């Protein structure tokens, strides 16, 4: 199991920086098009057991937490 910090585990309201997308190529392409790309700042705003909403640039993106677990992030000071 990959132990890298991921978007699914990032606390609500805390801005992180995306380091790597490890989802399948099709999903990664869609994520990048929606602004969830390497080096982008992302902030989880809503979470439930299976889904989450995060803010990236000025957009909100809804995704399953299963995908968010494949997005490697690191915390940032903002």
Partner 1 sequence: MAPNPRHIARVAIVGNPNCGKTTIFNQLTGLRQKVGNYPGVTVEKKEGNIVYSDGESISLLDLPGTYSLTPNSPDEEIVRDVLFGDLLDTPRPDGVICIVDASNLERSLSLVSQIIDTRLPCVVALNMMDDAKREGMGIEVEKLSELLDVPMVPTVGSRHVGLHELKKAIRGDMRISNAARRWSLPDCVQTEHREIVQLLRSHDAMEDAKAFFEATNLLSTPQSLENFESRTSTQVRERVKASRDRLQHLGYDRHSLFAWSRQNWIRAICASCVREGRKEKNLTGAIDSIVTHRFWGYVIFFGFMAFMFQSIFSWATIPMDLIGEAFTALGKGVVAIMAPGDLRDLLVDGAIGGVGAVVMFLPQIALLFLFLGILEDTGYMARAAFIMDRLMNKVGLHGKSFIPFVSSFACAIPGIMATRTIEDPRDRLVTMLISPLAGCSARLPVYSLLIAAFIPSISILGFWNLQGVVMVSLYLLGIVFALLMAWVFKKTILKGEAPDFVMELPPYRIPSLKSVFIHLWERCWLFLRRAGTIILAVSIVMWFLATYPKTNFPTQSEKLAHSFVGQAGQIIEPVLRPLGFDWKIGIGMLTSLLQREVFVSTISTIYNVQAGEGDPSNLRSQMQKDLDPATGLPKFTVLTAICVMVYYVLAMQCMSTLAVMRRETNGWKWPIFQLGYMTTLAYVVTFVVYRVGLHFV
Which residues of this chain interact with partner 1, rule CB under 8 A?
Answer: 21, 23-40, 43, 45-46, 48-51, 53, 55-64, 66-67
Question: How many CB atoms sit inside 10 A of residue 77's CB?
Answer: 4
Residue 6 has what DSSP assignment?
A: B
Residue 19: CB minimum distance to partner 1, A: 13
Of the two residues 5 and 61, which places its CB atom closer to partner 1 in the complex? 61
Residue 11 has what DSSP assignment?
A: P
Residue 74: CB minimum distance to partner 1, A: 17
Residue 3: CB minimum distance to partner 1, A: 21
Three-state DSSP class for residue 63: strand
Whether 70 and 6 have beta carbons less than 8 Å apart is answered as: yes
């Amino acid at each position: 199991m990959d132990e890298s910090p991921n978007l699914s585990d990032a606390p609500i309201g805390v801005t992180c920086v995306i380091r790597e997308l490890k989802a399948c190529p099709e999903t990664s392409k869609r994520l990048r098009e929606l602004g969830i790309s390497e080096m982008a700042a992302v902030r989880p705003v809503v979470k439930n057991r299976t889904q989450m909403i995060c803010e990236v640039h000025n957009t909100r993106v809804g995704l399953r937490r299963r995908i968010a677990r494949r997005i490697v992030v690191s915390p940032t000071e903002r």
